[in-house]
């Protein structure tokens, strides 16, 4: 299914992630997934949350640089080869390039959710449906 992800660009220094999360908490927004990538000078905090519009607005108001993107969230069995056979092979077979992805465990036992940034979100959504 298609989902919205917020990316926040922040200086790579102590306390910056805490500041981002405090803004989200103050808005009473629940995070479903979070990924942090870093370089020496800056980081990208990627989040899936229950209220993307409010989260993006609050973060912008707090002075953060924010981008909202459409991504795919797909379910894969939490078993050996689950990610490869349920997600990677079908997308590769149709020429979909994956820019990045991250996972989180589903509330249902034995399942994992895969958040995928790719070059053709609509086509990927149809392939994985």
Contact yes or no for 4/70 (Cβ under 8 A): yes
Q: Give the domains, in start order, of the chain with CATH numbers.
A: 2-69 (3.30.2130.10), 71-128 (3.30.2130.10)
Question: Does residue 12 or residue 104 have the better pLDDT?
Answer: 12
In Å, how far are 65, 104, 107 from 75, measured between CA atoms?
30, 10, 11
- The answer to pTM > 0.75 is yes
* Rounded-to-5 percentages of helix, strand, coil across the chain: 30, 45, 25
pLDDT tens, position by position, 73-88: 999 998 999 999 999 9
Q: Which helix (H) or strand (E) holds 17?
A: helix 16-26
The model's confidence at residue 9, banded by pLDDT at 50, 70 and 90, is: very high
pLDDT for 112 equals 78
In sequence order, the 6+-apart residues with CB closer than 8 A to the CB of 22 are none
pLDDT for 114 equals 86
pLDDT tens, position by position, 17-52: 999 999 999 999 999 899 998 888 889 999 999 999
Contact yes or no for 49/32 (Cβ under 8 A): yes
The model's confidence at residue 97, banded by pLDDT at 50, 70 and 90, is: very high
């Amino acid at each position: 299914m298609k989902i919205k992800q917020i990316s926040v660009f922040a200086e790579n220094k102590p306390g910056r992630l805490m500041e981002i999360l405090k803004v989200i908490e103050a808005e009473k927004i629940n995070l479903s997934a979070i990924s942090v990538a870093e370089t020496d000078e800056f980081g990208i905090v990627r989040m899936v949350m229950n209220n993307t519009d409010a989260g993006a607005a609050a973060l912008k108001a707090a002075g953060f640089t924010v981008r909202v993107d459409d991504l795919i969230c797909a379910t894969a069995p939490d078993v050996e080869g689950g990610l490869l056979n349920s997600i990677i092979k079908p997308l590769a077979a149709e020429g979909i390039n994956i820019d990045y992805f991250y996972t989180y465990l589903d509330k249902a036992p034995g399942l994992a959710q895969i958040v995928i940034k790719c070059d053709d979100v609509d086509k990927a959504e149809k392939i994985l449906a």
